[in-house]
Amino acid sequence: MFRNDGGVLAVDMNLLDDGGNLLYSVTRTNAADDIATTVGGNRYGWFTYNNIANLAIDNTALAATGAQVPEPGSLALIALGMVALGASARRRRSQAAA
C-alpha cells in the first residue's frame, strides 16, 4: 500500500497467510521520496530479514488489488463520431458515382 505520509511516500508491506490474517508488517519511507516532486516511476520492496517464528514461505504469489477503471465515455463518443464520418463519406462517394 503506497500512501502519503505528510508529503513523503510511505509503503506498507504486509505479509498475510491464506486466510488473509496479518503475519508481519513493515513500513518503508524515505524523506527523499517527496510526493510533491516525484510522480510515477517504479517502486519495489522486499523483506530482507525474516525472523518470524514458525514462518515458512512457499508458493508465493503477487496479488494486485484495485478497482477496475471503466472506459471513459469520451472514447466511445469519439468512436461513434468516426463511424458517422466514415458513413457520410461513403454516402457522398456513392451519390457522386451515380
pLDDT digits (tens, 9 = 90+) for 25-77: 877 776 665 555 555 556 566 666 666 666 666 666 666 666 666 667 778 88
**45 in a structural domain:** yes
How many whole angstroms separate alpha carbon 46 and alpha carbon 26?
10
**38 in a structural domain:** yes
Determine the pLDDT at residue 85: 94
Q: 14-29 b/e with 16+ CB inside 10 Å = b?
A: eeeeeeeeeeeeeeee
Q: Is the pTM value of this prediction over 0.75? A: no
Q: Which residue has the higher pLDDT, 31 or 89?
A: 89
Please tell me the total count of domains within the chain. 1
Q: Facing residues of 26 across strands?
A: 13
**8 in a structural domain:** yes
**35 in a structural domain:** yes
**61 in a structural domain:** no
How far apart, in Å, do the first and last CA atoms of the chain sit? 65
**64 in a structural domain:** no
Range of the domain at 42: 2-53+71-97
